[in-house]
Structure 1
C-alpha cells in the first residue's frame, strides 16, 4: 500500500509538473482546439460577434503565444470567450495548477464611483475609500483595459461581476496596467476628503476574497465599509435563500429572494404558498419581492412563484406588486423577471438586470487537451419573450440607484421608492399603452399622450425614440404596401417629437425606398447624413446612397 501511494504521488507530481511546463506549441494546440470546438459544436454563439472577428483574434493570440507567459495566455483565452458576451461562456481563473492570485479587497460600483466595499483587516484605512487610480492609471482607463476579459452581457453585468477582475494581478499585467507580474499593487484612494496611496499584497494562491451575494461581510479577518450597528432588510439573513417580513407600518409584505433554489426546510412552492396565505389573511396593501442579489439557479422553480402572484387578485394590480431588480439579477432570475413581466401587473424598481432578456445560458465544461483547463461554453437558448422584444436587460419603471454613503449608512433608497410610490394612473409599460392607442386608431389621443409622457420625468426610464422606431420597423419589415405606408406615418410622428433623430430619418427613407419613391428617400438620406455625418448611422446611409446610384 505504501509503495502504491508513493508511485501515485510521483505520478501526480509528474502530471502537475508537466502541466506547469507546457510548451508554447502545446498552448497553441489548445488554442486551435478551442477554435475548432466552437466552430464545430458551438457556432450558435456567433450572435454578438462574427466568425471572422473571432478567428482574427485567435490568429493574433496564436502568433503572440511564444512571447507570452502562461497567465497572459489564459487571459488571452478569456478575451476570446468574452467576445461572445454571454455571462455563462467564460474561463475560470481558479484552476490548478494555473490558479490566479487575488488582491485582498472587494470593489462595488455605486452611483458616485467605485469603492472598496470590503477588505482584509490589515487594510482598515482602505475600507470605504473611493478608487481613483491603480498603479497611477486612472480608474476609467483601468476599467476600459479589463473589460475585454469579462464575459459581460451588458454594462450592468460588468458593474456587478466584472470590475473585480481588478483583483487579479495576472489580469492587471496581461492588460498592461502593470509592467510586470507583481505581488504588490498600489491603489490611489480617496476618503474623508483626503487622497492617499495604499499598497495591497496578494493573498496566497488558493485563497480567495470571501464574498457572499457580492459583498464581503465583517468578521474577525475581514472588514465591511457598512455601519455594523444595524442591517438593512436586503442584507439580512443571507444564509437564507428567501425570507419574508411583514412591515406593519407600511402594510407591506417584503420578500428577499436571493437564489432560484429550494431551501432544505421549506421549498420555493411552500414558501410562496405561505407568504400569499399571510397576504390574504392580513392587512397587506403591497407586496415587494427583492431580487437584486439573485444570481440565478434552477428556473423550473419559477412557475410556483408566478402562479401564486397570478392567483392573488389582491396583489396582482398596478401599484400593489413591486419587484426590485439590479445589477446582480442574472441567469435563472432573469427568466423569473421575464415571466413576472409577461404575466403580472408588476412595477419594477431599482436598476436594470445583468442578463439579456433572451440569452444563451447553461454551460458545459470543455477540457483543453494539453493544459487540462476547463472552459465553459453555453449550449441552451432561453427565450421568454418574442425576438422583437429582446433587449440588453429588463429595465425598471422606477429607476433608483444607491450612493456609497447610502450603503455605508444602511439606507435603502430602492426599497423606500417601492414603499412610498403612489402615483395614480401610472403606466409601468408605456409602450404597451401607446401601441394600444395606435392599434385602436385613437390618433389624436396618441399624439397628446405621447407628448405628455415624453416630458414627464416619471417616464424618463423609457427610451421613447428607440421604442417607437422598433414599432415602426415591425411595420417596415413586413414588406406589404399597407404596412409600409403605416410605417411612414409612425416615423413621421416620431420626427415631430424628435426632430433631430438620425435613425428615424434613415428608417423613413428605407420605407420610401421600399414604396418605390426613390427621390423622397434620397432627400431623407441626405438629411440623415447632416445629422450624423461621422457616426455609424451616417456611414451606413452613405453606403445606401452609393447602392442607389448603381
Structure 2
C-alpha cells in the first residue's frame, strides 16, 4: 500500500511539473510575440532561442528566429534558422527569400540566386516590386541571371518588334518560373514551340492580334487563375460593345447596356455583325478563361463583346460600331448598330449593374437574390415558410463585421427563432480569401438544428469560383447540404492564387497560378460541383423577379418533402 502511495505521489508531482512547464511555455510564447511585434530584437532573440530549443518542430518559431537574426546582421545564423523553418515546411517563400537576401549580403551571389528562384517558385508575394526595390539585393543587380528575374530595362529597346520580343520572352520565363507545375498542364515541348511560332510572326501581326494570341497561349494551360487580361488601360486598351450577355435557359440575352440602347435590354441575341452568336462564342472560347466548360462559357460571353477579339478571328471589320441582331417582343428579328467604348472588365467582375447602365436587374421590387448585391454578406428571415435566406457574395471581411462574426450571428438567430431551413446563396460569389472559410463553416457544422438533410441548401452557379468553390466543397464534405442551381464555375480541386506578371513594354497584365488547392476528398477530379437540383433561370423569370431556386426550396419545405440522401 505504501509503495502504491509512493508512486501516486511521484505521478502527481510529475503531472504538476508538466502542467507548470506548459504554463510557462505559453507565457514564454506570449512574451516572445509581444517583444517581436515591438521590434525588441535582442529580447526577442533570447526568447525565440529558448522556444526553438524546447520545441524544434514548429517552423513558425524558426522563421521568426531567422528574421530576428537577419535584423541583428547575423546572416549565417539566420540562414541556419530559416533552413530549419523550411525543413518544417513553414513560410517557404519568405524563408527562401530571406535566405537569398542573407547570401546576397554575404557576397555569395550564386547561393543568393538559387534561393531567390526557390522563393519565386513557392509563390513569393509582391515579387516584382520586391526584387526591383529591395536594397539588400543591390549586389546582384549587375548579374545577367538576376536580370532574368525582373522586367528588362525598357529604355534600351525602341523598335516595335524588339519590344514585343522582350515582352513575350519575359512572359514565357515568368510563367515558367512562377506557375504551379506548368509542364503538367502545358507540355514543355509544345509550350516552347508555340511561343517560338508567335515570336516569328511578330512582324506580320497587328498589336491586338499579338495580345489575343497571348491570351490563347495562356488559355491552353487550362487553369482559371492563369490568363492574360484583355487590356483595359494603356496604349493597347481594347474596345467593347457596351452590352452584357447572359446565358438563360431560353438563350443568350442582353442583361444590361447603356441607356441609349435600352431597347436591347432583355432581348435575345441572334447575331453580331451578321454572324450567329454561337459561332462567335465558339471562337471566343479559344481565348477565354479555361477553368472548366462552365467558366469558359461565362467568360466567352464577355470576350464575344471585345472588338479586337472579334477582328482577330475575322468576325468584325475595323470599325467603331457593331451590328447586334436580336428578337423583339413579337419574336421579329431586328438589328441595331451599337458604338464601341473603351473596355472595362466590370461587367464580368461586378455583381451589380454598371454605373450609368440600364439592366434587367433594375426593378422596383427586386427579388432577394438581387436586392443587396453591394454587400459581401447578409441574411434575412422569410416568415412563410420560416426559412433564413443568407447571401454570401464575397469571401472577405466587412469593416463593421467579420465573416466569422457574421456566421456566429447567423447561427445565433437560427438557434433562437423558428427556422425550418437555411438557404446559402453563393451564385454571385467569385471568391476572395479561402482562409476565411473555416470561421464561417464551423458555425454551420456545429448547428444541430440546421445541419440536417433537407434543412440546409446552397445555391451555386457559373460565378461560384475560387474561394467560393472551396467553401462549396467544404459544405459538400462536412455538412448535410443540398446544392441547387447551376454547375459551379470552379473545380473543387484547382490551382489558384494567381500572381501578377506585368509586361514592361505593352503594360499587359498576365497571371500565373502558384498554389494547388486540394478538395477535402482525395482524388476529387470533378470539373465542377453539380447541383442535386439543376435549376437554370429563364429570361422571363428574371424579368419578373422570380427566383426559381428559392421557390423550389420553399415548395420543398411547405410540402415537408425530405429529399433522400
Tell me if TM exceeds 0.5.
yes
Q: Distance in 2 between matches of 1:147 and 1:21?
A: 34
The RMSD of aligned alpha carbons is 2.3
Partner of 1:171: 309
Alignment equivalent of 1:187, drawn from 283, 306, 324 = 324
Residues 411-464 of structure 1: CA distance to partner in whole angstroms, max 9, x if unpaired?
A: 110111222225766344xxxxxxxxxxxxxxxxxxxxxxxxxxxxxxxxxxxx
- Structure 1: unaligned runs, 5 residues or longer: 1-16, 429-550
Alignment equivalent of 1:199, drawn from 314, 337, 355 = 337
Q: Distance in 2 between matches of 1:108 and 1:206?
A: 18
Asked if structure 1 preserves the Cα contact closer than 8 Å seen for 2:180 and 2:516, the reply is no
Q: Does 1:302 align with 2:302?
A: no
Larger Rg: 2
Asked if structure 1 preserves the Cα contact closer than 8 Å seen for 2:376 and 2:392, the reply is yes
Partner of 1:323: 458
Matched ranges for 1:56-455 at <5 A = 56-93=193-230, 94-178=232-316, 180-192=317-329, 193-203=331-341, 205=342, 213-216=350-353, 221-226=356-361, 228-421=363-556, 426-428=563-565
Structure 2 length normalisation: TM-score?
A: 0.68
Partner of 2:143: none
Asked if structure 2 preserves the Cα contact closer than 8 Å seen for 1:22 and 1:371, the reply is no
Asked if structure 1 preserves the Cα contact closer than 8 Å seen for 2:259 and 2:358, the reply is yes
SS in 1 for 2:523: helix
Q: Distance in 1 between matches of 2:489 and 2:170?
A: 30
Partner of 1:451: none
SS in 2 for 1:234: helix
Partner of 1:35: 172
Residues 138-193 of structure 1: CA distance to partner in whole angstroms, max 9, x if unpaired?
A: 11110111111112211211233331112211111112212x43211112111211
Task: Give the CA deviation at 1:334.
Answer: 0.7
SS in 1 for 2:237: coil
Structure 1 length normalisation: TM-score?
A: 0.70
Aligned residues: 408
Residues 226-247 of structure 1: CA distance to partner in whole angstroms, max 9, x if unpaired?
A: 4612101011122211111100
- Structure 2: unaligned runs, 5 residues or longer: 1-153
Task: Give the CA deviation at 1:96.
Answer: 1.4
Q: Distance in 2 between matches of 1:270 and 1:83?
A: 41
Change (3 A) 1:208 1:302: closer
Task: Give the CA deviation at 1:40.
Answer: 4.2
Change (3 A) 1:249 1:48: same
Asked if structure 1 preserves the Cα contact closer than 8 Å seen for 2:464 and 2:490, the reply is yes
Task: Give the CA deviation at 1:33.
Answer: 2.6
SS in 2 for 1:37: helix
Task: Give the CA deviation at 1:49.
Answer: 3.6
Change (3 A) 1:261 1:208: closer
Task: Give the CA deviation at 1:52.
Answer: 3.3
Change (3 A) 1:20 1:282: farther
Change (3 A) 1:20 1:318: farther
Q: Does 1:26 align with 2:167?
A: no
Asked if structure 2 preserves the Cα contact closer than 8 Å seen for 1:105 and 1:209, the reply is no
Q: Distance in 2 between matches of 1:223 and 1:20?
A: 45
- Range with greater deviation from structure 2 (90-99 or 259-268): 90-99
Asked if structure 2 preserves the Cα contact closer than 8 Å seen for 1:362 and 1:379, the reply is yes
Residues 459-495 of structure 1: CA distance to partner in whole angstroms, max 9, x if unpaired?
A: xxxxxxxxxxxxxxxxxxxxxxxxxxxxxxxxxxxxx
Q: Distance in 2 between matches of 1:367 and 1:20?
A: 17
- Range with greater deviation from structure 2 (410-419 or 207-216): 207-216
Asked if structure 2 preserves the Cα contact closer than 8 Å seen for 1:291 and 1:323, the reply is yes
